[in-house]
Structure 1
Amino acid sequence: MKLVTDLKQKILAGGEISRSEALALLEVPLEELTAAADEIRKNQCGNAFDLCTIVNGKCGKCSEDCKYCAQSSYYSTACEETYPLLPAEIIVAEAKRNAERGVLRYSIVTSGKRLSDPEINQMCETIRAIKKETSIEVCVSFGLLNEEQFRRLQKAGASRVHCNLESSPRYFPEVCTTHTYEEKIETLKAAKRAGLSICSGGILGLGETPEDRIDLVLTARELGVTSLPVNLLNPIPGTPYEHNQPLTKEEACRFIAIFRFLIPRASIRLAGGRGLLNDQGRSCFQSGANAAISGDMLTTAGISIETDHALLAGLGYRVQLPESETMSSRSSGF
């Protein structure tokens, strides 16, 4: 189809596609769209694949009412485990184990609206210990922090902040009412001002429209997001979304491909819900995605690091940080 070819050439020439052009891609043949997205990915990013893991650094009793979350105190789910911040020795040991298995990034994720200053001090000491004992990149997902707090984390050795937008500005109030979209945007801007890269995406399957999905990524593009996690809703019994229908593999591939057209140089990262796909994300990795969270998620099982290494090697990827990052020379050998 001429539209796909024309938009692909526009991107390869250094241009950006508009919202209306992205919406037009909803109607084009899937195979042609995904092939073009994969070509854009190869041209803009090469065969580098950014692999990360996450650790649930503080679990349960979350004060926020995000309707998808098993850890929210608003809902009764099978996730009954709760604990405060994990001690440094546990988090550091897990970081070392992941680094030894060829993982590039290690993200510490905590429940709640934000960490307190004493908790941030504790995490700074933990991050310093990780950087002393490993070469892994450290990412943090500590909630709605301010610039001064992010500067402390950056000085301790963190390199990236994660804060998902979750959906479009229009639809977000349907997902969560205990904090705002504007608070999330200010958090990401504060992290950038503190010298940290930002990782922010959302969840597909919350009841949003295709337009909402595109608007989510347009917002991320405006913010200068370099890593876009794409979660596929895993409906959790006990949450308001427990009866939502998960995306099909074809739907996932189409939106991954459109996202690649929208943000051609970013790491598009398959995250939660990848295990719901019968090919463990293989088709998405051929449709523009070039990053993933490996191992278990926060409250659900994931795909093992070893399985992912074998899958990615078979697709011709090299697990390494993007060349645009200062640490790009560090890569795993598998």
Structure 2
Amino acid sequence: MELKSLVEKIKDGYRINAEEALALCNQPLEQLCSAANELRQHFCGNAFDICTIVNGKSGHCSENCKYCAQSAFYKTEVETYPLLPTEEIVAHGKYNDDRGVLRYSIVTSGRALSDAEVDRMCESVRALRKETGIAVCVSFGLLKEEQFAKLVQAGAVRAHNNLETSRRNFPNICTTHSFEDKVAAIQAAQAAGMQVCSGGIMGLGETMEDRIDMVLTARELGVKSIPVNMLNPIPGTPYEHNKKLTVDEMRQIVAIFRFLIPDGAIRLAGGRGLMPDKGRACFQSGANAAISGDMLTTAGITIEQDLTMLAELGYHPALLGDDAE
């Protein structure tokens, strides 16, 4: 494969397949990352979609995802609490809004929020939309279309629901819900009028084929925001002894994802703080979005640190997606 000619084909609208994506692994890393950055620049310019999250409900999760500190199946040190009150969620949103963050997501543990919990979160979303200028995203699990529709009416613009890995590999990660359950929830959110953010975790023991298949599924679903988490092995979980990926492995992953979805937001998410450079090299290898601030159960990187780094790299904060208008 000639890398330069493939880049030009993609610029002209060509969509690579799984075989071509896998072949990119054989390209010299620096050339691959440079080509991915060229695609990022061509399709997205220097816009960078930075978002923050609040852990709106923590722990006691009924699902057995092997990577997760919040699962009730494992003994971890994670803090547990029910839904946060609207006042606390709004205060956190204002804090981020005042610092120039354009997107803010409320994330809750559990398989899915109940109807009563969804109604409470609608109150929080309405308050955020009234008191801030921030775009509100939600990560509430395997909701139904009518529940997503309520959240849209309240002012939420995007739902997050990670596929986590490939369809083939998913049963090795979780058995209390299925890959198909994930897809159904994504389609329900889209049917309700929401954008969707969906990616996965790298370092679960998956192959590069699994990673590529995950992104191809997201592409087929029309997803343009792809979170790329690097596993932070949490003591007490089945994956506590998994080997951490290297910066170069993450650079290769985000570069290949850029080739697969050239006009998307390739978003570094959980685990970025494990990288000595906090993701800087990945932001020069095709990634153009990130979650900033604290993660769900692990410390993240401050908004101020990220904004300084992005300015040094020539980026400017902007929304990427349908709400970018």
Query: TM-score if structure 1 supplies the norm length?
Result: 0.96
For residues 45 and 70 of structure 1, the distance between their equivalents in structure 2, rounded to whole angstroms, comes to 35
CA distance in 2, matches of 1:306, 1:254: 27
Q: Is the 8 A contact 2:159 2:195 kept in 1?
A: yes
Contact 1:58 1:86 in 2 (8 A): yes
Q: CA deviation at 1:3?
A: 2.1
What letter matches 1:305 in structure 2? I
In structure 1, which of residues 82, 85, 104 is the aligned counterpart of residue 83 of structure 2?
85
Q: Which residue of 2 aligns with 1:5?
A: 4
Rounded to whole Å, the distance in 1 between the matches of 2:157 and 2:151 is: 8
Measure how far apart 1:326 and its partner are: 4.0
CA distance in 2, matches of 1:316, 1:109: 30
1:10, 1:17 within 8 Å by CA — same for their partners in 2?
no
* 1:282 alignment partner in structure 2: 280
Q: In 1, are the aligned partners of 2:142 and 2:182 still within 8 Å (CA)? A: yes
What is the total number of aligned residue pairs between the two structures?
325
* Amino acid in the other structure paired with 1:158: A
Between the aligned residues of both structures, percent identity stands at 64
Distance (Å, rounded) in 2 between the aligned partners of 1:292 and 1:326: 17
- 1-structure distance, mates of 2:293, 2:189: 26
- Please tell me whether residue 28 in structure 1 is matched to residue 44 in structure 2: no
Deviations 1:123-156, CA, capped at 9 Å, x for gaps:
0011000000001000000000011110000000
Q: Do the aligned partners of 1:275 and 1:302 also contact (CA within 8 Å) in 2? A: yes
Match of 2:123 among 103, 122, 125: 125
Distance 1:11 1:292 in 2: 24
CA shift digits 1:247-297 (9 cap, x unpaired): 100000001000000000110000000011110000000000000000000
Q: Quick one: which amino acid aligns to residue 64 of structure 1?
A: E
Displacement of 1:10 in angstroms is 1.1
Helix, strand or coil: the match of 1:99?
helix
Alignment partners' CA distance in 2, 1:6 and 1:161: 36
Q: Report the counterpart of residue 331 of structure 1 in structure 2.
A: none
Q: 1:108 to 1:326 in 2, by over 3 A?
A: closer
| In 1: Cα distance, 2:165 partner to 2:3 partner | 25
**What does residue 198 of structure 1 align with?**
196
Q: Equivalent residue for 2:17?
A: 18
Q: 1:149-228 to 2 correspondence within 5 Å?
A: 149-228=147-226
1:212-231 per-position Cα deviation (integer Å, ceiling 9, x unaligned)? 01111111100111210000
- Give the match for residue 234 of structure 2: 236
Secondary structure of 2:67 counterpart:
coil
Following the alignment from structure 2 to structure 1, what is the Cα–Cα distance between the partners of residues 303 and 194? 26
- Distance in 1, Cα, partners of 2:288 & 2:208: 22
Q: SS of 2:285's equivalent?
A: coil
Q: Deviations over 1:103-142 (max 9, x none)?
A: 1111000000000000000000110000000010000000
Q: Give the counterpart letter for 2:81 in structure 1.
A: Y
What TM-score do you get using the length of structure 2 for normalisation? 0.99
Q: Deviations over 1:73-98 (max 9, x none)?
A: 0001121x211100000000000010
Distance 2:48 2:122 in 1: 28
| Inter-partner Cα distance in structure 2 for 1:147 and 1:110 | 18
Contact 1:101 1:305 in 2 (8 A): yes
Q: What SS does the corresponding residue of 2:281 show, helix, strand or coil?
A: helix
User: What's the C-alpha RMSD, in Å, of the aligned pairs?
Assistant: 0.8
Task: Judge conservation of contact 2:157–2:323 (CA < 8 Å) in 1.
Answer: no
Distance 2:177 2:129 in 1: 32
Matched, 1:325 2:322: yes
Distance 1:325 1:43 in 2: 18
> Where does the alignment leave 5 or more consecutive residues of structure 1 unmatched?
329-334
Q: What residue number does 1:46 align with?
A: 45
Q: Once the two structures are superposed, what CA deviation does each residue of 1:157-215 show, in whole Å capped at 9, x if it has no partner?
A: 00000000000000010000000000000100010111100000000000001110111
Unaligned runs of 5+ in 2: none
- Correspondence 1:138 to 2:136: yes
Cα deviation for residue 327 of structure 1 reads: 4.1
Distance 1:6 1:191 in 2: 37
Distance in 2 separating the partners of 1:77 and 1:325: 38
> Any residues of structure 2 matched to 1:61-100 within 5 Å, and which?
61-79=60-78, 81-100=79-98
C-alpha distance in 2, partners of 1:252/1:125? 38
Aligned to 2:2, the other structure's residue is in SS state helix
Residue aligned with 1:282, SS: coil
Distance (whole Å) between structure 2 residues aligned to residue 307 and residue 3 of structure 1: 38
